[in-house]
């Protein structure tokens, strides 16, 4: 059997969460990531019949029955993942219609998966319906996007248009725009359900006064989505108090979308 520490998704997740911490997106134990794994491939690295313990999830997700996920642990500091991955990460398999998670590897100190596990799993269900290749859900606290939710209208069209106008790449990277939730209590099924609903139409969901959720086909794509939106928010926060002399026009956004073969969200351009 192969060494699980050589599992591609595990190697990439360690690198990614380290990078997220270094970007300042995941202070203390803030933020969480989950990756849908291929069970057949995983069987080359782990004995899938060996369940270390079973953890109740507190929700139901029949669509994910039997699926395996690599997840970050609750209360774990991203800065420590690269040094003790077996303690800070876990590989789980959903059972009982998603109401329990069988621990196959990791969380070796007796810990649990992230407190945002419901939001992650519900978002996986929503994104898999849209794109069966979407395998990653990522949550973090980028400072400029967070700051933007204090001073900008939270209307999704307005929020998206502002981000698109800040960087040429934005309409290309997230042509479906961003969806926005008002402040809600985190770590609950309610915010999980609300996030999943928003995930049906966009891969980025902003949690006002909290952070952002991103989804994608792999860790690079998902990190890049958030990175691009955060860069746009940074530019906005630097110029929001100044008179805007120039901007990226709607006609320019249409040209970008056409040139790069993407479709800007219907009704978002004038």
Distance in angstroms (rounded) separating the CA atoms of residues 151 and 155: 12
Distance in angstroms (rounded) separating the CA atoms of residues 93 and 43: 12
Question: For strand 204-207 and strand 179-181, is the pairing parallel, antiparallel, or unpaired?
Answer: parallel
Q: Exposed e or buried b for every residue in 253-262, given b needs 16+ CB within 10 A?
A: beebbeeeee
Distance in angstroms (rounded) separating the CA atoms of residues 146 and 26: 12
Selected catalytic residue, list 9, 102, 116, 230: 116
What the block records as the tokens of 52 is 């270390």
Helices 219-239 and 8-22: angle between axes, nearest 10 degrees: 10
Active site residue 234: no
* Active-site annotation, residues: 116
């Amino acid at each position: 059997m192969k060494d699980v520490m050589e599992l591609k998704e595990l190697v990439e997740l360690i690198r990614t969460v380290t990078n997220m911490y270094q970007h300042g997106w995941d202070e203390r134990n803030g933020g969480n990531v989950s990756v849908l794994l291929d069970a057949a491939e995983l069987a080359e690295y782990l004995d899938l019949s060996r369940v270390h313990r079973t953890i109740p999830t507190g929700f139901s997700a029949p669509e994910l029955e039997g699926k395996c996920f690599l997840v970050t642990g609750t209360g774990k500091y991203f800065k420590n993942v690269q040094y003790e991955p077996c303690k800070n990460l876990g590989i789980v398999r959903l059972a009982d219609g998603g109401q329990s998670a069988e621990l196959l590897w990791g969380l070796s100190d007796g810990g649990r998966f992230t407190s945002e596990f419901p939001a992650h799993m519900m978002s996986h269900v929503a994104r898999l319906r849209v794109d069966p290749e979407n395998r990653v859900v990522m949550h973090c606290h980028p400072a400029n996007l967070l700051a933007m939710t204090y001073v900008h209208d939270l209307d999704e069209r307005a929020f998206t248009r502002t981000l698109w106008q800040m960087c040429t790449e934005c309409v290309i990277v997230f042509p479906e725009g961003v969806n926005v939730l008002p402040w809600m209590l985190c770590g609950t099924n309610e915010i999980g359900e609300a996030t999943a609903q928003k995930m049906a139409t966009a891969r980025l969901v902003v949690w006002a006064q909290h952070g952002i959720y991103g989804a994608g086909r792999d860790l690079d794509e998902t990190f890049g989505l958030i990175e691009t939106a955060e860069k746009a928010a940074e530019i906005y926060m630097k110029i929001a108090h100044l008179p805007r002399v120039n901007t990226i026009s709607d006609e320019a956004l249409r040209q970008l979308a056409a040139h790069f073969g993407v479709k800007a969200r219907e009704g978002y351009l004038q």
